């Protein structure tokens, strides 16, 4: 994972405690990425665990565009268990070949900042989406 993908995941993890399901979470993440000028697309479909045969449908997630196979999914573990063997956060689907993501693009919905703040129970103010080439994020600089 690149430093930028790490920073994005760390910034978005504040949303885990919002209680949003995958659809609401996807719209909130899309709002934040759009605001940060990060090209992406939202998807709705299903995720299948090829090893166990579990199927999560419907399911929503965000794919980062122009960035290979990077996905943002903070809700799959809600349905498949809080297990390190289940993808979570910002990740490349090719590194999780056990899981098949299959879906169609969702309708792009633009929401007001006030609506997103209400949906996130005020946690929106804690979320930092780094600029694409922003490697000067203070908490990352301290880790390096």
Tokens 């449908």 -> residue: 57
List pLDDT tens digits, range 21-55: 999 999 999 999 999 999 999 999 999 999 999 99
| pLDDT score recorded for residue 9 | 98
Tokens 């203070």 -> residue: 138
| pLDDT score recorded for residue 134 | 52
Local confidence pLDDT in tens for the 144 residues of the chain: 799 999 999 999 999 999 999 999 999 999 999 999 999 999 999 999 999 999 999 999 999 998 789 999 999 999 999 999 999 999 999 999 999 999 999 998 899 999 999 999 999 999 999 988 655 445 544 554
Residue pair 106/25 in contact (Cβ under 8 Å)? The answer is: no
Local structure of 18: helix, strand or coil:
helix
pTM for this predicted structure: 0.89
| pLDDT score recorded for residue 136 | 46
CA-nearest of 142, 133, 144, 139 to 67 is: 133
């Amino acid at each position: 994972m690149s430093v930028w993908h790490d920073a994005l995941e760390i910034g978005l993890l504040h949303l885990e405690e919002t209680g949003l399901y995958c659809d609401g979470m996807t719209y909130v993440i899309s709002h934040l990425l759009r605001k940060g000028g990060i090209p992406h697309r939202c998807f709705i479909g299903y995720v299948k665990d090829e090893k166990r045969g579990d199927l999560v449908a419907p399911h929503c997630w965000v794919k980062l565009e122009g960035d290979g196979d990077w996905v943002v999914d903070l809700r799959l573990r809600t349905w498949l268990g809080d297990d390190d063997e289940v993808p979570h956060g910002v990740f490349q689907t090719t590194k999780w070949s056990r899981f098949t993501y299959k879906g169609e693009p969702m309708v792009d919905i633009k929401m007001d900042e006030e609506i997103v703040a209400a949906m996130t129970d005020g946690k929106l103010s804690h979320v930092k989406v780094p600029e694409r080439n922003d490697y000067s994020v203070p908490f990352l600089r301290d880790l390096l």
